A = this chain, B = another copy of it.
Amino acid sequence: MNKPLVIGVAGLGTVGAGVLQMLEDNADLVTGRAGRPIRVAAVCARSRNKDRGLSLSGIDWEQDPVRLAARPDIDVFVELIGGEEGPAKQAIEAAIRAGKSIVTANKALLAVHGNGIAVAAEAAGVTLRFEAAVAGGIPVVKSLTESLAGDRVLRVMGVMNGTCNYILTRMESTGKSYGEIFAEAEGLGYLEADPTLDVGGIDAGHKLALLASIAFGTKVDFKGMEIEGIERISIGDIEQAGDMGYRVKLVCVSRISDQGLEQRTQPCLVPANSPLGQVEDATNIVVLEGERTGPVFLRGAGAGQGPTASAVLGDIIDIARGRKISTFGQPADTLRPAKPIRVAAMVPYYVRLLLVDRPGVLATVAAAFGDAGISINRLRQYGHADKAAPVLIVTHPTGRTELSQALDAIRSSGVSVNDPVAIRIEEV
């Protein structure tokens, strides 16, 4: 029997408890595949006495994750505390100083401090893996870092926040407003203590920032990302987009060009029958588009105890098998800074207007688009009982400047009762 890999686990929430449970239930299988047993030497968590349905006998209890991270008897420090500052960061830094490899699910920490942490880890010769940080049980970090390593990546995109997707799916199926479904989700305990992390697009943005760095060999740049949450999506947008064959999703997209790095997390319309349009509730999907490989679609459970714990365990087994790899797929000190740009490609837009009901207004709108050089693909005016006519427009692909020009012209012409709503359309 080979020497066991000894781990210390900080954080015994849903995921941490799941990892310990899997290690216990699948011990034989894990030993066979890893080529050696994986043994938990010590754990720490906020509360020692909480019932987690786990036996912790034979496992040391540490009060302090920093102390746990540096224990002489562990090979790998498993960080499942979370949070971009505080104990998680201190413990990971301590683990690096002590020469321990690290497995973490902490997207916030890596999205904000990933460059420095990766440089330090590589200088210390330790491996840091984070499959569970992005899209739960879907093997996206590994696929991008390893399977597509020979190919030039053109685009990374996905639907990677289960809470947003749940809210949008529920709005669509019930016809209720964002506020009502948000309250419902809160009542069910689906939201974080700070729900902005989810509904504000920050959590999905963290994930995208990590994938973009691997894909394009650029420094992790969460600050350079354009982020918009789902808070302003109305039930009208969802219903009318549906009528045009689209669904609203919080879409993450990143592309690189000679101009710089585009990273966007924002509500978009996607064709209802497309792979992105079909993910429901907490399912995630990620698309990795390689120049030679073409688009690869990876879809599965983006969160939850089992899928996330499985991803953590996959990383631990990788290290047990002797895996050594740079955090973001190439040495961290060779990652290039990239200029953040807002648009790297022309896309079609969906525009929702509420037009005053008098002759000539549609001509004014059409002229506003035409003057900006934008072709209209589809236009639909709805029957209406009151004074204003709902009008939906799907444009041909256009730039943002052109779109802004058209919308400004509509605003200043006074023909629209509402402030025009414009949502990007992402085709895969």
- Partner-B contacts on A (CB < 8 A): 18, 22-23, 26, 29-30, 32-35, 131, 137-139, 142-143, 146-152, 217, 275, 290-301, 304-307, 309-314, 316-318, 321-326, 329-331, 334
Which of B23, B150, B296, B324 is the one whose CB lies under 8 Å from A299? B296
Q: How many copies does the complex hold?
A: 2
Extra contacts, 8 of them, besides A35-B331, A297-B298 (Cβ < 8 A), are A32-B334, A35-B326, A137-B294, A150-B310, A292-B305, A293-B306, A294-B304, A297-B297
Name which of A29, A33, A305, A316 has the most chain B CB atoms within 10 A of its CB.
A33
Considering the complex, give the chain B residue whose CB is closest to the CB of A331: B35
Main secondary structure of the interface of A (DSSP, over half): mixed
CB distance from A2 to the nearest CB of B (A): 11
CB distance from A311 to the nearest CB of B (A): 7
**Known contacts A149-B33, A298-B298, A299-B275; A306/B322 CB under 8 A:** no
Is there an interface contact between A26 and B147, defined as CB atoms closer than 8 Å?
no
Is there an interface contact between A300 and B297, defined as CB atoms closer than 8 Å?
yes
A29 to B148, CA, bound (A): 11
CB distance from A11 to the nearest CB of B (A): 17
A326 to B306, CA, bound (A): 25
A151 to B131, CA, bound (A): 15
CB distance from A342 to the nearest CB of B (A): 26
CB distance from A340 to the nearest CB of B (A): 22
Is there an interface contact between A317 and B150, defined as CB atoms closer than 8 Å?
yes
Which of B18, B33, B137, B324 is the one whose CB lies under 8 Å from A330? B33
**Known contacts A22-B151, A217-B29, A217-B32; A297/B299 CB under 8 A:** yes
A152 to B217, CA, bound (A): 34
Is there an interface contact between B314 and A150, defined as CB atoms closer than 8 Å?
yes
Name which of A30, A150, A307, A311 has the most chain B CB atoms within 10 A of its CB.
A150
Is there an interface contact between B143 and A310, defined as CB atoms closer than 8 Å?
no
Which of B139, B309, B313, B329 is the one whose CB lies under 8 Å from A143? B139
Considering the complex, give the chain B residue whose CB is closest to the CB of A145: B33
Considering the complex, give the chain B residue whose CB is closest to the CB of A325: B321
Which of B23, B292, B312, B316 is the one whose CB lies under 8 Å from A309? B292
Is there an interface contact between B306 and A292, defined as CB atoms closer than 8 Å?
yes
Considering the complex, give the chain B residue whose CB is closest to the CB of A142: B147
CB distance from A329 to the nearest CB of B (A): 6
With a CB–CB cut-off of 8 A, which chain B residues contact A314? 146-151
Is there an interface contact between B292 and A18, defined as CB atoms closer than 8 Å?
yes
CB distance from A321 to the nearest CB of B (A): 6
With a CB–CB cut-off of 8 A, which chain B residues contact A300? 293-297
CB distance from A146 to the nearest CB of B (A): 6
CB distance from A292 to the nearest CB of B (A): 3
With a CB–CB cut-off of 8 A, which chain B residues contact A298? 296-299
A228 to B313, CA, bound (A): 37
With a CB–CB cut-off of 8 A, which chain B residues contact A34? 149
A121 to B297, CA, bound (A): 32
30 residue pairs A–B, Cβ–Cβ below 8 Å: A22-B150, A23-B150, A26-B150, A29-B217, A30-B149, A32-B217, A32-B331, A32-B334, A33-B330, A35-B326, A131-B147, A139-B139, A139-B147, A142-B142, A142-B146, A142-B147, A146-B314, A149-B314, A149-B318, A150-B309, A151-B313, A292-B310, A293-B311, A294-B301, A294-B304, A296-B299, A297-B298, A297-B300, A298-B299, A299-B299
CB distance from A148 to the nearest CB of B (A): 7
Which of B217, B292, B301 is the one whose CB lies under 8 Å from A22? B292
With a CB–CB cut-off of 8 A, which chain B residues contact A152? 26, 29
Is there an interface contact between B301 and A293, defined as CB atoms closer than 8 Å?
yes
With a CB–CB cut-off of 8 A, which chain B residues contact A150? 22-23, 26, 29-30, 33, 309-310, 312-314, 316-317
Is there an interface contact between A149 and B317, defined as CB atoms closer than 8 Å?
yes
